[in-house]
Structure 1
Amino acid sequence: MRKLWITAAAMLISANATAGITQELSACASITDELNRLTCFDALAQTVKTQAPITPAVVATATVAAKPVSANVEEEFGNLRKAKADAIDKIYLEIASITKDPYGALKITFTNGQIWKQTDGRRYKLKVDQTVFIEKAALGSFVLGSDDRNTTIRVKRLK
């Protein structure tokens, strides 16, 4: 019976603490003067103890256009078996030929010998001798696009 009362008291105190912080946040947010609002939030932050400080991650990006890249690194870009291709995030290539598979997905061969295939079902017009970019996207995927258009398609490297 005593454990039940202790647990109930702990839950009640925890709920009140959360409600208090929420009310204080609302009060700080309602202040119209920027300096006073910032001071209010700073004072509230001092009262709340956090376990570990949150630090923003630093993300480094590089493109082929920004700095010269050796042909070896460019050849490895998009090849999942090679790990050195992490040095660049975007490459520009010239299209040598375009074909479609039986399902209508584009199969693009570039002048450097790389072959990439479209993985999504969107329509995208390309021409031979057109310069396009291939850029790293989320979760290890790649997108193909053009600087003069605002759309891209998802692609994967075949060769």
Structure 2
Amino acid sequence: MRISWITAAAILVSAQASAGLEQGLATCSAKADKLDRLICYDTLAGSVKSAPKVTSDATAISVTSVAAVSKAQTVTATGTTVPANIEDEFGRAGIKKDQEEADKEINKIYLDVDSIKKDVYGSLKISFTNGQVWKQSDSKRFKLAAGQTVYIEKGAFGAFYLGVKERNSTIKVKRLK
């Protein structure tokens, strides 16, 4: 019987806490000024950090958790205003870009190879002179040497391909560092 009361109290308190947290998040997201929004989120996160962990004592759960909920609900609400540029950017990723935006986007970079290692599966791990580290993610054979200049270009669906100007082949790579 006592366990069911403890469970019921814990469920009630957690439902109140999540409702207060959702209301606080909605309030913070409605702020138009970036700094005010950040301060609001930091205040809300501070109140969540101070919320106690669930223990087996039902009175301690209800008293301390209700105090944390009331602290989270003290965030003042303001009018909900959405900046106009958010609506302009919504869904724009699928629209073709004009020439100026397409020119700004980087699709290919050239890098100098610093060192090359192979893992136990034969995949290349390539370190570049600028500190980047990329790893081969397909099983093709590809010869590289330290000091060689290579390019990495964007592919479809977020893929990246490494190639050498002198050859007409590429390998699929992913960035590690």
TM range (shorter): 0.3 to 0.5
Under a length normalisation based on structure 1, what TM-score does the superposition of the two structures give?
0.48
Instruction: Give the structure with the larger helix fraction.
Output: 2
Under a length normalisation based on structure 2, what TM-score does the superposition of the two structures give?
0.43
